[in-house]
Copies of this chain bind each other. A is one copy, B any other.
Amino acid sequence: MAAARGQRGGDRDVPAAPNAAEVTMPIPPISDAPMQRARAIPEAAVARLAVYLRVLSGMAEQGIVTLSSEELAAAAGVNSAKLRKDLSYIGSYGTRGVGYEVSVLVDQIERILGLTRSHSVAVVGIGNLGHALANYGGFPSRGFPVAALFDVDPDLVGVPVGGLPVSHIDDIPRICTEREISIGVIATPPAAAQAVCDRLVAGGVASIVNFAPVVLQVPDHVEVRKVDLAVELQILSFHVARRADSMNVNGSALGNVDGVVIGR
């Protein structure tokens, strides 16, 4: 049972809150008192809400005031029923027969995603990628100020990158605590990632984005999201191969090569 269940990335998995378990019982409340049973929002829906938010922001800039689920769904690349359901998790802010008001949705989604507060970010590993991240214009949609940079290289320590001086990774715990870092971004080579991760955790960081191609082992209360280019490429590769195969099978029927059937 050693398997730390940290790592959630490619797939979804809700972080069993110690108490949560609020079953989704549609109890028809006789009392209209809106109890705050935080109806759990499916993990997958949260990811999409972030996408809707971005699309909506773009629309707001274009001066669009109102739109229908159908329009927003098209722009976000999802099915409109799914979009409505996703939005329903955060409340009822649409008007039947009309649609949604862009500004209302933006506000509500930001609220749910916790974007009303800002979350300080630390980037560890100032190589090519780290540089890119540190300079990522004010960081993706403001609200995530980069408040610390770290690297092992002594020559890099003190050098300002994107306006912020680099610190040494040994200072991660102290500095993260001091600056109240809430999100750590690991952009180090794979070999260093686990050690860095441990230091971040020691510094009180409970949310980590990991760009290093390693599976991090973390305590239960820490959440890791991994971004893994190699995995993405391999998934694409799989589909390419599959497509090619099915073409062989369907198109030029060159007899069955060898035991293909898997599973019984």
A139 to chain B, nearest CB (A): 8
- The residue of chain B having its C-beta at the shortest distance from the C-beta of A78 within the complex is B3
List chain B residues, Cβ under 8 A from A179.
none
Prevailing SS type, chain A contact patch: loop
A148 to chain B, nearest CB (A): 15
Q: Are B246 and A12 in contact (CB under 8 A)?
A: yes
- The residue of chain B having its C-beta at the shortest distance from the C-beta of A10 within the complex is B47
Q: A18-26, A97-105, A152-160: which one contacts chain B?
A: A18-26
Q: Which of A1-32 contact B (CB under 8 A)?
A: 2-8, 10-20, 25, 27-28, 30-31
List chain B residues, Cβ under 8 A from A47.
10-11, 231, 235
List chain B residues, Cβ under 8 A from A135.
128
Q: A260 to B227: give the CA distance in the assembly, Å.
A: 30
List chain B residues, Cβ under 8 A from A20.
246, 258-259
A220 interfacial contact with B, CB 8 Å: no
Q: Are B41 and A262 in contact (CB under 8 A)?
A: yes
Given contacts A73-B3, A136-B229, contact A16 B236 (CB under 8 A): no
Given contacts A74-B3, A225-B235, contact A261 B115 (CB under 8 A): no
**30 cross-chain CB contacts under 8 A:** A3-B77, A11-B48, A13-B242, A15-B245, A18-B257, A19-B258, A20-B246, A20-B258, A27-B259, A28-B259, A36-B249, A38-B242, A38-B262, A39-B262, A50-B228, A50-B230, A51-B215, A89-B263, A90-B262, A113-B234, A113-B238, A114-B244, A127-B132, A128-B131, A128-B136, A140-B213, A140-B230, A141-B230, A144-B237, A207-B240
Given contacts A38-B260, A77-B216, 19 further A-B contacts (CB under 8 A): A2-B74, A2-B77, A3-B74, A13-B242, A13-B246, A13-B249, A14-B242, A15-B239, A17-B246, A30-B261, A38-B246, A38-B263, A112-B262, A114-B240, A114-B242, A117-B241, A140-B213, A182-B240, A183-B233
